[in-house]
Structure 1
């Protein structure tokens, strides 16, 4: 029998229908797995939402973290300045309450002078009378 080229053979049609039926079955989710599929989809969706929330929170926290680091650096700078000031004051305190240096501290703080010392007074020299007269030009 000679078949027409434009009409498919019955064998070809059978194979084509079996292939199409197989594709339809593969595309459909088996009814027994449908609840598990929905559950997994919900879990994945919720995890995506949680991740999006965490990323958003981190983005909002970054400026605050930068400000805190800036303030921390300022506080550390002030701490070093205060530490040097405290060390200087501690040295002065130790000097003021040292019994061996009591006389020198009292002389610095007060107007009294140890009687064994002589007072030195600096006086500016007075200008000489010849230096006060301007020179005349001839």
Structure 2
């Protein structure tokens, strides 16, 4: 009976040692997988922000209510009742005359 108990105890100790050894080999792999998962989740968050921005732009461009506004922004055409204003820089001496009321 003592021999049987010793053999069982020895087998259990060897199995426990093998289990601990395998766990020690798997821990670095698990840590590297967790680091990769963190990197991927960070990239997903950044990509999600870009996707949200692109969805907003997409929905704006394909919104029928905003089509006229977008066409005005992207073209140089004016409505019939509008006039285009051209800003010009005045020379320095003319600017003094305007300020002084001359």
TM-score (normalizing by structure 1): 0.58
Aligned pairs for 1:1-138 (under 5 A) are 36-126=1-91
Matched residue count: 94
Q: Unpaired runs of 5+ in structure 1?
A: 1-35, 129-138
Q: Measure the CA separation in 2 of the matches of 1:114 and 1:53.
A: 83
Structure 2 unmatched runs, 5+: 94-102
> Residues 73-122 of structure 1, C-alpha deviation per residue, up to 9 Å, x if partnerless?
11111111111111111111111111111012123334434444332333
Name which of structure 1's ranges 43-52 and 111-120 shifts more when overlaid on structure 2.
Answer: 111-120
Q: Which structure's residues are more often helix, by fraction?
A: 2
4+ runs of 1 displaced by more than 4 Å?
none
